Amino acid sequence: MSNYALVGKNMPRVDSKAKVTGQALFTADLKFPKMLVGKILRSPHPHARIVDIDISAALNIPGVKAIVTGHDTIQRKWGVFGYTQDQLFLPADKVRFIGEEIAAVAAIDEDTAQQAIDCIRVEYEVLDAVFDIMESLAPDAPLLHEDFPHNINVHVPINVGDVEKGLAESYYVREDTFTAVEDSYFQGEPYAVVARFDMDNNLEIWMPNAGPHMKAKPLSNALGIPLNKVRVRKITIGGAFGGRSEIAPADLICALLARKSSRPVKIVYTREENSIATRQGHALITTIKTGVGQDGRVIARDITCYMDGGAYSSTGPIAVSVPFLCMEQAYKMEHVRYNGYRVYTNKPPRGMIRIHGRAFACGVDTQLDMIGDHLGIDPVTMRLVNAREAGEFTNTKSHVASCAMKDTITKASDRAGWKEKWGKLPPLRGIGIGCNSVQTGFPMGIRGGSQATIKLNEDGGATVISGVVDNGQGNDNMLVQITAEELGIRPEDVQLVTADTEVTSSDPGAYSQVSTFIGGHAVKNAAENVRKQLFDAASKVLKVDPDDLMARDRMICVKGSPTETGIPLKKVIRMILASGKSVSGQGEYWPKVDPKREWVKNPFGQMCGAFSFGTTVAEVEVDSETGKVKVIEVTVAQDVGFALNPLVIEGQFQGSVAMGGQGGILTEGHVWDKGSVLNPTQLEYKVPLACDMPKINTIIVESNDPEGPYGTKESGMSIAMSAAQAYAAAVSNAIGVYMTDFPLTPDKVLGALQNKMELETPNQNEDVMEKTLELVVPAV
């Protein structure tokens, strides 16, 4: 292992002081002279044609400075992909979900803005609406978008090998269906936007985002102004979890209001608006047919998945593909067929979420347990037999350069005491394991790479210019850590100019778990470039080869000799500056992905630079009278490549267990009454609390990815996914029934337990675990 000064070590985050003192400014904290308050009028109908919008009464209210409707836009549809452009922000023709934006007001204060909103009269022609995946696919279903027949937004077909042949040759085949309702992000910070135009009509805009450059381009398109006039500014961001990746209607609306009123405008969403009018997770129905050999090895899988996409595409093709991709990365199989459909319904649009496709992921693992149960193979062995290994290719032809999946399985199960517990726990106690793999990056087209600049000042301080954004996961600290490491300076010597589209070059954003791998890589390369300039200059003074130099503790010195014998860094900088040159350098990084890979048309080729792998083991206890699940202990292990900052990684793991397992499997899900969300706030959408959380053991596994900076790759999300799977498996194990509909709220757990008790003979229902059942129901 190399001798690093900073990377690989626990480093408290550079942004935390501003956050613990209340100094860190989030979007809603911003205040500008003459700033107005913006409010949005939303559709009360899930599906309706807009006949007329009358804003005259609202305009007459004193203090109202601007009102915008669809007529103020250039009516250019948004879609992440050319072939998914289906959403007008401020539609003028029709609305497709309850909460869709219709008009907006900017006024001198919130009360006036709300009063004006209440005075806008909209005449609707109410249309039939559809809220269910299968009903939406029915021939007589109301059509949401004229140009998407059968309400199918995206269909991703993948077929590798010969599935029929594989299934025919299998020793055991089974087919099961798994379902889940919509889950939601519930970021700490409700969505907010502040926008203003300067005298030259440059837009400055602040909002929580998972990639400022991902916001700027669509904004420039929607406003019809050049990209260099759109300045998405850096701001503290209160979480994203996949939900703040693309342009939001409020971004455009706020900009339109600012332009029309010639004043800064701030829109702050209520918690309800954040739930119903940003993005939600997908509901889904997935049917998995798997054939295995006698040893439990998967020979063939045939999967059909229907995802409820809500009213618009959002990241549709990615959303449909990712659950499948995670599976094919995590587990080997010879033949596989996938048909993923994203279906339109009259519900809010859905995006990617930290435990995206929970029913899919939990389905794959639950079925492995069902198969193991049938074959007499325990869950850990089932996973070891099928686990991905380094050097292999996925079915869709991605090379997996680094992979310690088996290590994570062994380490997590050993630490959790699997061998002592599996099959030996008292009734109503259960243990379960889940494994998953997450991409370090998605194919992002022109925004697939990152470019960074570093300049050094005469006092030895560095300024880093990078498009990397920090949503809360610690990306700013990552950039500081890398820069300080490479230049041999201290974290306090580094200043960041980041996530500001006026000055920073393109970057894919934090959305695809890629900030360190790509953005951090670019900064590392920039730092190496600058360091080379320093070494070249220093080598002349020290009369040694530049390759023999190292930067450490603000000094440039000869490798192997004491640091103090070197030259102070700032002296070297001054020498270079005095020679008429700047001490600055650029760095780029572009991942080695297959540029021809496309989500729908060509889902083959190198997907991303690296893949992470994670395993979670959970142990639970079920209250047989109420169905409530108490989680006793959770153990997680993830192959993160290299642990750049273990302190931060542990935090990611723990947060992943909370959102993926505890919330994602036990309590979280939206409740609907037709198109209305009955639980849009944290009161009834039950995000876990401190008292709910179990003890979590964290194990960091390193596989040193050959491509990642220092060997790093994605960290944390493999845990969110595998935690969901492990929680599901543990509950199933505790009650002796394989659970297939998520989340596993007490009513469902109790229902399953009671159904099992009522069964007369164990063989009537294959879903019932054969062994556990014998314990509960005496031999018949």
Partner 1 sequence: MNKQSLEIIINGEKYSLAVEPNRTLLEMLRDDLELTGAKEGCGEGVCGSCTVLMDGKPVRSCLTLALEASGSHVTTVEGLAQHGELDPLQQSFIDHGAVQCGFCTSGMLMGAKGLLLENPHAGAKEIRNSLSGHICRCTGYTKIVEAVESVVESSKEKR
Partner 2 sequence: MRLPPFAYERPRDLYEALELLNTFGKDCRVLAGGTDLLVRMKQGLATPSRLISLKDLPELATINESDGFLNIGTAVKLADILAYEPIQYRWPGLLEAVKSVGAPSIQHFSGTIGGNLCQDNRCQFYNQSKFFRQARQTCNKAGGNTCFAWKGGSDKCHSICQSDSAPILIAMDARITIKSKNESRTIPLEELYSSVGERPLTLADDEMLTEIHVPGPVPGAGCAFEKLTYRSSIDYAVVSAGAYVQTDGSKTVNARLIIGAVARGPLAIAAVEKTLKDRTAGDEEAIDQAGREAMNAAEAFIANNITQPVEYRTQMVSVITKRALSRATKRALSHTDVSEAK
**Structure tokens, 682:** 């944290």
Q: Does the footprint of partner 1 cover residue 33 (CB under 8 A)?
A: no
Quote the least distance from Cβ 189 to partner 2, whole Å: 15
Residues 6+ apart with CB under 8 A from 466: 450, 452, 453, 479, 496, 497, 498, 504, 505, 507, 519, 522, 523
Quote the least distance from Cβ 412 to partner 1, whole Å: 17
Number of Cβ within a 10 Å radius of residue 45? 22
Cα distances (angstroms) measured from residue 393 to each of 240, 328, 332, 396, 606: 31, 10, 9, 8, 9
Quote the least distance from Cβ 119 to partner 2, whole Å: 14
CA separation for the pair 262, 200 (Å, rounded): 12
Please report where in the chains the tokens 């990639």 appear, as a residue. 211
CA separation for the pair 598, 601 (Å, rounded): 6
Quote the least distance from Cβ 678 to partner 2, whole Å: 5
Q: Does the footprint of partner 1 cover residue 633 (CB under 8 A)?
A: no
Closest among 644, 602, 745 to 685, alpha carbons compared? 745
Near partner 2 in 59-88, by CB under 8 A: none
Residues 6+ apart with CB under 8 A from 737: 752, 753, 755, 756, 767, 768, 769
Quote the least distance from Cβ 769 to partner 2, whole Å: 23
Q: Does the footprint of partner 1 cover residue 659 (CB under 8 A)?
A: yes
Near partner 1 in 271-330, by CB under 8 A: 271
Quote the least distance from Cβ 209 to partner 1, whole Å: 13
Give 51 or 126: the residue with its C-beta nearer to partner 2: 126
What one-character DSSP code corresponds to residue 237?
-
Closest among 615, 613, 614, 610 to 713, alpha carbons compared? 610
Give 329 or 652: the residue with its C-beta nearer to partner 1: 652
What one-character DSSP code corresponds to residue 233?
P
Among 164, 492, 684, 774, binds partner 2 (CB under 8 A): 684
Angle at 440 between CA 437 and CA 445, to 5 degrees: 130
Quote the least distance from Cβ 178 to partner 2, whole Å: 20
CA separation for the pair 726, 339 (Å, rounded): 25
Question: What string of H, E and C letters represents the secondary structure of 541-560?
Answer: HHCCCHHHEEEECCEEEECC
Q: Which range, of 196-204, 245-253, 640-648, 686-694, touches partner 2 by CB under 8 A?
A: 686-694
Among 75, 85, 114, 586, binds partner 2 (CB under 8 A): 114
DSSP assignment of 599-645, as one string?
TTTB--S---SEEEEEEEEEEEEE-TTT--EEEEEEEEEEE-SS-S-
Among 70, 427, 568, 651, binds partner 1 (CB under 8 A): 651
For the chain, how long is the longest CA-to-CA vector? 93
Binding partner at 124 among partner 2, partner 1, none, C-beta below 5 to 8 Å by kind = none
Angle at 639 between CA 633 and CA 640, to 5 degrees: 110
Q: Does the footprint of partner 2 cover residue 689 (CB under 8 A)?
A: yes
Quote the least distance from Cβ 111 to partner 2, whole Å: 6
Q: Which range, of 416-424, 482-490, 676-684, 770-778, touches partner 2 by CB under 8 A?
A: 676-684
Binding partner at 686 among partner 2, partner 1, none, C-beta below 5 to 8 Å by kind = partner 2
Quote the least distance from Cβ 647 to partner 1, whole Å: 4
Binding partner at 495 among partner 1, partner 2, none, C-beta below 5 to 8 Å by kind = none
What one-character DSSP code corresponds to residue 282?
P
Sign of CA dihedral 553, 559, 563, 565: negative
CA separation for the pair 141, 127 (Å, rounded): 11
Binding partner at 678 among partner 2, partner 1, none, C-beta below 5 to 8 Å by kind = partner 2
Near partner 2 in 722-751, by CB under 8 A: 745-747, 750-751
**Structure tokens, 266:** 């701030």
CA separation for the pair 510, 470 (Å, rounded): 7
Quote the least distance from Cβ 691 to partner 2, whole Å: 4
Q: Side by side, which strands form the sheet with 462-466? A: 494-498, 462-466, 450-456, 584-589
Quote the least distance from Cβ 414 to partner 2, whole Å: 30
Binding partner at 419 among partner 2, partner 1, none, C-beta below 5 to 8 Å by kind = none
Number of Cβ within a 10 Å radius of residue 505? 17
Among 187, 314, 402, 453, binds partner 1 (CB under 8 A): 187
Near partner 2 in 41-60, by CB under 8 A: 42, 44-45
**Structure tokens, 18:** 């501003």
Binding partner at 656 among partner 1, partner 2, none, C-beta below 5 to 8 Å by kind = partner 1
Sign of CA dihedral 281, 678, 27, 108: positive
DSSP assignment of 684-740, as one string?
TS----GGG--EEEEEEE----SSSGGG----SHHHHHHHHHHHHHHHHHHHTB---
Give 582 or 754: the residue with its C-beta nearer to partner 2: 754
Q: Let me know: does 122 contact 53? Beta carbons within 8 Å.
A: yes
Give 561 or 754: the residue with its C-beta nearer to partner 2: 754
Q: Which range, of 384-392, 438-446, 603-611, 684-692, touches partner 2 by CB under 8 A?
A: 684-692
Near partner 1 in 536-595, by CB under 8 A: none
Binding partner at 301 among partner 2, partner 1, none, C-beta below 5 to 8 Å by kind = none
**In terms of C-beta density within 10 A (0-12 exposed, 13-18 middle, 19 or more buried), how is residue 772 classed?**
buried
Near partner 1 in 450-489, by CB under 8 A: 471-474
Binding partner at 561 among partner 1, partner 2, none, C-beta below 5 to 8 Å by kind = none
CA separation for the pair 443, 425 (Å, rounded): 45
Give 46 or 660: the residue with its C-beta nearer to partner 1: 660
CA separation for the pair 505, 465 (Å, rounded): 8
Give 410 or 477: the residue with its C-beta nearer to partner 1: 477
Residues 6+ apart with CB under 8 A from 1: 8
Binding partner at 671 among partner 1, partner 2, none, C-beta below 5 to 8 Å by kind = partner 2
Counting residues that bind partner 1 (by CB under 8 A) gives 59
Contacts with partner 2, 748-767, as mask; x by CB under 8 A: --xx----------------
Among 35, 92, 108, 110, binds partner 2 (CB under 8 A): 110
Among 50, 195, 327, 658, binds partner 1 (CB under 8 A): 658
Binding partner at 238 among partner 2, partner 1, none, C-beta below 5 to 8 Å by kind = partner 1
Near partner 1 in 665-704, by CB under 8 A: 681-683, 687-693, 696
Instruction: Give CA 48 to chain center in angstroms.
Output: 32
Binding site for partner 2 (CB under 8 A): 42, 44-45, 98-99, 110-111, 114, 270, 272, 625-628, 667, 671, 673, 676, 678-680, 682-684, 686, 688-689, 691-692, 745-747, 750-751
Q: Which residues bind partner 1 (CB under 8 A)?
A: 10, 12-13, 15-26, 28-29, 31, 185-190, 236-239, 241, 268, 270-271, 471-474, 647-648, 650-651, 653-659, 662, 681-683, 687-693, 696
